[in-house]
Every structure is written in structure tokens, then in C-alpha cells.
Amino acid sequence: MKLIYVSANERPYTDGCGILTGSIHPEDNNKLVAVTTMSPAGCPHVNGFKVDNWKQNLRVIYQCFVWSGSAETRKRKAKSCICHMCGAHLNRLHSCLYCVFFACFAKKHIHEHAKSKRHNLAIDLLYGGIYCFMCQDYIYDKDMEQIAKEEQRKAWKMQGEKYSTWEPTKRELELLRHNPKRRRITSNCTIGLRGLINLGNTCFMNCIVQALTHTPLLRDFFLSDRHKCEMQSNSCLVCEMSQLFQEFYSGHRSPHIPFRLLHLVWTHARHLAGYEQQDAHEFLIAALDVLHRHCKDDNGKKANNPNHCNCIIDQIFTGGLQSDVTCQVCHGVSTTIDPFWDISLDLPGSSTPFWPLSPGGDGSALNGESHTTGATTLTDCLRRFTRPEHLGSSAKIKCSGCHSYQESTKQLTMKKLPIVACFHLKRFEHSAKLRRKITTYVSFPLELDMTPFMASSKESRMNGQYQQTVDPFNNDNKYSLFAVVNHQGTLESGHYTTFIRQHKDQWFKCDDAIITKASIKDVLDSEGYLLFYHKQFLEYE
């Protein structure tokens, strides 16, 4: 072990084996950090596995239980891959590399097996990574990685996968050698920041474009040239968005003129055509709908979202909203799950009654929102959105249990969370008697935990098991704020601006063509109309 001096700008970090693997930017001061160093050979415990026919044995595991190339292997994997301790299919199943034993990683059943049998290596059956229980981390071994890649390519070929790993051509290698200078992204880098010219009351479009171009996974998709257009390029909104991302991340500082984007929106969403001011929320939904229609995957494959679509829009923005209708007589429950791109939340001050909320109750403290000033919080709005609602005698439903029309209650919860959660605060009220803007201040946090609003949390409460505690290891439902759209002015005359996060704790205000530095206080003190949150932790397939 040796001590390494760490500056305030950079801190080394290691993998589970103690190999110095890179650096992160810390939030603390200069300090000495103890780093265990090891030879470049990698994990020392792999050699115990590399005996006899280890390569062939590893290939069989990849072929049969990890990369499912044919329908037969997929069926075999679905039937055989269950935890040998609890019988579960999920909870990150791992297979012991020394014996035929499958067990849960999340519930630590595979850890118990490794400890009792002294079998130190296991393979993740979903992603193919090798885990060492001695190093307590996923490891890299050149020989094993080569086998994994070969078997994955074979499986992709059998499935007719249209994406393959990129290999540089001779021409590309030559260009890289002759151009050794690389664009380096630093904490002060302004690449990606670019103003947009207002083409006549088009601030509603500009603010949404700023939010979308700073959505991390959407940016990665378009900058990696993943879109394969099957339309005429001059009529495809996805092609135009791809060009827009190229413009934003080209390094040019002059404002961009999005006239082609405006023309395509008018063409495909005619209700938005014209130079009058439009609603930014309406534009967001229309843009996502057109993008979804233009880039959805027609190969018939089912994706892991309620809309069963593999397009990039649904992968990022689609969640599942669960609706439970409970009969008040027999207490039978009818459940439906619907896809959603955003969640619209009622505000105090609207004609819709807003229930009284007790300070700090049921999730407010968890999300770091303050009730000291009496302000309504985003958590308050979500609690109201997910509370049980009595439908009344005028809205009786026919109960499948009672076989008659009965009064019932309805409750909405989140069955599946999207990667990007967009919250629409309903500030514009339109009714037969009333047209106005609601200016109620709503406090929203930089980090949001959606666990209290999940369907699983509701089920735990009903079983008497749910306890609302801060679990530092459960990050599945935690989000970080990355964009806020604001509206200034009245219902008849107003203007849209956007706060976007460029790097951690670095925020900028986008006001059409003008980009200015903003503080976190500026962001959190703003009125808020559309709030964009990104999941903090993702698992990649």
C-alpha cells in the first residue's frame, strides 16, 4: 500500500482489486488517500479457475445462459435461470463458475454460496460481467473478455442484430494518426451551450430544444449516429434533431437559427403552426410524439417499457402509471397500467381542491424540501397526485366481484419509472368561467427520491412492511434535476426561458439567443413550469 497526495481538483479511484483506474472530481479538500496498488496482471484469483477446459466451460455458460442467440437458448435460459435458494428469476442472478449453481446477487445468496464453497468467481447472467468475491468487485481479464465478445457477436449474428461493434477503417486510423489533438471536455467547457434565435414568438420551442439537447442519453444517441432513417431526410424530424445536436456540440458560439426544425414541427404537428405564442408543455408532448413516430423500431421486438417500443424516445421518457380502482363494498381491485411521458400536477390556488398537507409528512423530509416558509413542495404535489380519490356516487363502476355498480376509490402510483422524469406544474387554468395563470411558488429539490410514490411502496404499506427510511444503498428510484423551464408574464403575454445543467453544480440560463451563468439558488428560486429529472443510476444492457 502507498499514500498518494490528492489535490482539490482530482482524486484517484480504484476498482475492487485496488488497480488505479481513473479520477473523479471530489467535493472535499486536499488529502492523503491510501491506495492499494497491484500489478497490471489484474485479479490474482482468476488463475485458480484457468485450469483444464476452462475456456470451453466458460463458452458454454455464455452460450446457454448469458447471450441467448436462438429461440431455443432463450427458452432454456428462461426455464433454468432461477435462484437455487429462493426460486426467484430476478434480483440480478449470477452463476458460479466452478459449479452449476445460480443464485441472487441482490439478496446475497450467491455470496453465501461463494463463502461456503470457496468458489470465488461468478458471472452475471444478464450482462456477462465476472465478479470476484475476494476482490468484491467486477474484474477484467483479457482472455475472459475475448471469449465474452466472441460469444456475444455470435448471438447478435443469430438474432440478425443490425448494430455491430465499430472497427476503424484504414482511412479513419490514418486520420486519427495525423490529427493527434483531441477536444478535451473540462469542468469549464462551454461546448453544448448555444443560443437559439427567436423566429417570432418561438421561445416555447427554444426552451424545449435546450432541455432536450442537454438530456444525457438523448445526446449520446444522436452524437453516436445511431439513427437509421427510413424516411425522406427532408421530412424526418429525427434527422433534423440529429443535425441540431451536431450544431450544438460543434463548438460554434454564434446563436443557431432553428428554421428547419420549426418548419418540420409545423408540418407534422399542424396545431402548433403559426407565429402566435404556444404552450411549451404542449410543444414538448408534440415533439416527443413526432420523434417517437419517426424513429420507432419496426422490427417487432418488445422493449422493457409499457409502450412496447424500442425507439430512443420511449427508452428514455416512457414510464408506467398504475391505476388501482377499489370497490368500496367487496374491496376488489381493478388495476391498469398506462404509459406516460410526463406527469401533470395540480397546484394550490387552482379551482381543483388542494388537500391540506402536514409539514414534513410522507416524503417531504426525504427529498430535502423545506416547509419552513409554508411553501408547497414538489413532494406535496406528488403526494396529492398519488393519494386515494373517492369517485363518488355519480361515478359508480361495475365491480367484477359484486357484479353490480358500486362506489369506488381510485389511486395512481408509479409502476415503472422512466429514465427522464418530466413534471408539468399546471400553471395555466382554462375553464368555461376562468382563464388565468397560477403563480403559486413550488419548492423543488436538486435530488428527488420517487420511492414513496411507487406501486411497490403502496403494496408494502398495505402489508404493514413499509418504513420510510433513507437507504443510501437503494438508488434505483433517485433522480437529479438537470433542466427547468420557466414562464414569465401573464396567460396572454409571456416569455419562456430555461435553466440547464452543463456540469455538476454548473447551471446556465438560456433566454433565446442569450446564455448566461446561473447559480443553484437562481434555479431553485425560480417559479418552475416544467421540471426535468434524470435517474442517478442506470443499468446498461
Cell of 299: 422490427
DSSP H or E segment with residue 67 = none
Q: Does 203 qualify as catalytic in the annotation?
A: yes
Contact 29, 9 (CB under 8 A): no
Side chain identity, residue 46: V
CA distance 354 to 122: 52
CA distance 220 to 214: 10
Buried-state track 50-86, b at ≥16 Cβ within 10 A, e below 16: eeeebeeebbebbbbbbbbbeeebeeebeeebbbbbe
Spell out the long-range contacts of 53-56 with Cβ–Cβ below 8 A and sequence spacing 24 or more: 55/143, 55/147
CA distance 501 to 520: 10
Contact 312, 226 (CB under 8 A): yes
Side chain identity, residue 448: L
From residue 91, give the alpha-carbon distance in Å to each of 125, 292, 506: 11, 31, 36
Active-site option among 203, 207, 236, 309: 203
Q: Does 487 qualify as catalytic in the annotation?
A: no
Cell of 121: 468467481
CA distance 466 to 460: 5
In the block, residue with C-alpha cell 484517484: 12
φ/ψ of residue 518, rounded to 5:
-130, 155
CA distance 59 to 147: 7
DSSP string, 303-355: -SSTT---SHHHHHH-EEEEEEEEETTT--EEEEEEEES-EEE--TTSSS---
Cell of 526: 425560480
Start-end of H helices in 18-88: 54-61, 71-80
CA distance 61 to 96: 10
Angle between the 237-248 and 203-213 helix axes, to the nearest 10 degrees? 70
Residue 464's CB is within 10 A of a number of other CB atoms, namely 7
CA distance 42 to 77: 30
CA distance 399 to 333: 9
- The 8-class DSSP code of residue 454 comes to B
Active-site option among 45, 84, 111, 495: 495
DSSP H or E segment with residue 416 = strand 408-416
- Which residues are identified as catalytic? 203, 495
